[in-house]
Amino acid sequence: MENAENRKRKAEAMSLTEESTNLSTPAPDDRKRRAIPHEETFGSSDDVSDIVSDSEESEDEIEGDSDEELEGFEKERDGMFSDYSNEDLGPPECEVEEREVNLGEQDEFKLSFKIYLQEDDEEFEDWMSTIRVRCSHDGEVIGGGYGRYVRRNRIRHKFWCNMEEPSEHLSDVTFRLFDRYGRLNKELKDHEIRKGTGAWGSELDHGDLFIIEEVWVDKLWRSKKIGKTIVTYLLGKSRAGKRSPEFSLVIPGVLNHDIKADIRGKTEFEQYQLESKAQDIATSLYRSVGFRRIGASYVLGLVTDPNHPAHTISPTADFEPLYPEPEDDEIPEDEQAENDPVDNATRNARHQNALQKQLPLHHAASTRPDDECVELFKKGEVSIDEWSKLDRSSRNVLHVAAYECKPNTVRWLLENSNPNQILSSARSLDGYTPQEELESKLEIKRTRVTRGRMTVGVFDNFQGFSPEAIECLVALRGESNVSGLRYSQLKFGCSCGSCIEGCLSPRMRFALLCQAEMTYDILNDHFGDGDSWYLANDFYCRFVAPDIQQKFRTNKSYRQGFANIFDHIASTLRDNRMYFPYRYNSLSAHFLGYEQLVSYPDGHRAMLEPTNCVNTSYLTTLTSRTRRGANNSQHPEYREKYQRMTSQH
């Protein structure tokens, strides 16, 4: 079985475009630049009609390229173009369309567009289709693009895992917008700032998706509306045949090779300005087609429904997130003379030195140990204005202390430097208060981890937050005397406050309830023939003690009692109570029936002993069925019931 990294390399090898050989991804948490280095969908730097590749190199690679390496890249690119024009290379094509279009001010350019589907790996073909467009002039490829049509309902139970494997861009869109089940992140719908225009809501939880990954146009052919035409053809093909995407998504970005020559030798602020200009042009291109920003994310969306509120937002009225501006520091003369890029270590050291001079409180909160930081704050005589100073991301010292999980510092700041909640209510450029920023960080830590170029879901193996993080949350939320149950909720990231007994979430309760009700219905069927009943329900019976399994074949009361226990589990879950299998005495009457309990032999009650049945059977059965999912059920009528129940929930 291929691992995810090999599958990524295979997917990238299939992308025979100009940019497919020069991709790499910076650290996903790097949000310092306006050009958004972590994104992979790009626009041009010349005109709103232009659009370039949707992939990007890391800063380290960009800064480390010499002139010789650039020359080698150009040669490699030329060779790539010659391969790309070869019809015999690449996976098989289908649904091929050929179109000729005259472009230019006087229609002087006759361009050929090839629009087609390309086969994907077998592991993806059930839920994903790749759509490509290629533009050529006189046999020479001058532009192209591709996107992925995603049948979301087929992978909803493992949405994150499946969307991460084919490409980094799909992974980016997935983790920025959706939760593990493919639903829009709650903060993009409800948060005061993060919801953006407020036009997007739970409708994004449903329907198929089309995600544009890459679009590019050769520099010599820009400003001729070729990019916009490619995007239009991609969207049209995604809606052809039986395909019907509810939403199309894209993350505009900038191809660093396009602006590398312009930013070389520039200060950070000058680089920021050039990248911002290119980024704005890319975003304007997609907005001209109808895309609008989803919440305050980097993702733009286009909805098929003509009555959706997003269609009423003009391009100029669309939400625009705020980005931190870099310092206007000049490159040292020795670095200018050598024309050598600054490595990350040098850049970070310079940043820390500047931070210590300009914002000593921020520097202390981010670099010093917790107790030492408190002692430093106690000694200094600092005005309220000094405590309220902001860094380039509009974060105050409480933001920094909370993010660094320093509970003593957080408590001291709240008690001594927070008049009228001036620190605790302040918002960063991302729209977060100190509490919200910490909660956002912890939610990411609870659900996923980045390993190189991969993002892996860890929610099922999460071991809990650190005591320091929990103490910070308690302080920021103004809680006191946290009980054992409440501490468990904080430790494991309970966001609803409604977990039963501190461990059973509303969603899991609902899933278990569905399984318990369906299992009861299934086990109640065909009681007459013991052998047939046992063979039909062997999956459930295998968790029961062997001697009890044999009695299922010969004793109807045992079969009925086994089914009744699942009904009891369902009853406790409906009442929002936790079912503890070791409390088997409470099940006796429900298992056999009040009027039958006295008359049945003691052997029948043996089934209720923890060693025989309850402790080893029922929750194991339910959990196994829940994890396998209702779609794997051998009973279509109950699968339909489960799907109907979940759609109404």
* DSSP assignment of 479-519: --S--HHHHHHHHTT-SSS--BTTTB-HHHHHHHHHHHHHH
Q: Which residues contact 603 (CB under 8 A, 6 or more apart)?
A: none
Q: How far apart are CA 77 and CA 16, in angstroms?
A: 10
pLDDT of residue 256: 55
Q: How far apart are CA 579 and CA 263, in angstroms?
A: 63
Which letter, b or e, does each residue of 153-183 get, where b requires 16 or more Cβ atoms within 10 Å of its Cβ? eebbbebbebbbbbbbbbbbbbbbbbbbebb
| Separation of first and last alpha carbons in the chain | 37
- Supply the DSSP symbol for 118: E
Where do the CATH 1.25.40.20 domains begin and end in the chain?
Answer: 355-491
SS3 59: helix
Name the residue among 369, 435, 438, 371 with its Cα closest to residue 403.
438
Q: How far apart are CA 77 and CA 55, in angstroms?
A: 15
Residues in the chain: 649
SS3 103: strand
pLDDT of residue 21: 29
Q: How far apart are CA 383 and CA 387, in angstroms?
A: 7
Q: How far apart are CA 46 and CA 226, in angstroms?
A: 13
Is 104 in contact with 127 (CB distance < 8 Å)?
no
Is 28 in contact with 450 (CB distance < 8 Å)?
yes
pLDDT along the chain (649 residues), means of 10: 43 36 31 32 38 38 45 48 46 89 76 92 91 94 95 94 92 94 94 96 96 90 89 96 95 71 77 83 92 96 96 95 72 43 67 83 93 90 85 94 96 92 94 96 92 85 92 94 84 78 77 90 81 86 84 86 87 77 42 38 47 45 48 43 45
Q: Which residues contact 68 (CB under 8 A, 6 or more apart)?
A: none
SS3 448: strand
At which residue do the structure tokens 């992939």 appear? 55
DSSP string, 559-577: HHHHHHHHHHHHHHHHTT-
Name the residue among 476, 367, 462 with its Cα closest to residue 432.
476
pLDDT of residue 189: 95
Q: Determine how β-strand 454-457 pairs with β-strand 448-451.
A: antiparallel
pLDDT of residue 33: 30
pLDDT of residue 106: 66
Domain 355-491 has CATH 1.25.40.20: yes
- Supply the DSSP symbol for 184: B
pLDDT of residue 37: 33
Where do the CATH 3.40.630.30 domains begin and end in the chain?
Answer: 4-151+208-317
Instruction: Decide which of 3.30.160.100, 1.20.1260.10, 3.40.630.30, 3.40.250.10 is the CATH code for 4-151+208-317.
Output: 3.40.630.30
Give pairs for 536-545: CB < 8 Å, separation 24+: 539/621, 540/621, 543/616, 543/617, 543/618, 543/620, 543/621, 544/607, 544/612, 544/613, 544/616, 544/617, 545/611, 545/612, 545/613, 545/616
pLDDT of residue 506: 83
Residue 275 vs residues 53, 270, 315, 400: alpha-carbon distances, Å: 15, 9, 20, 27
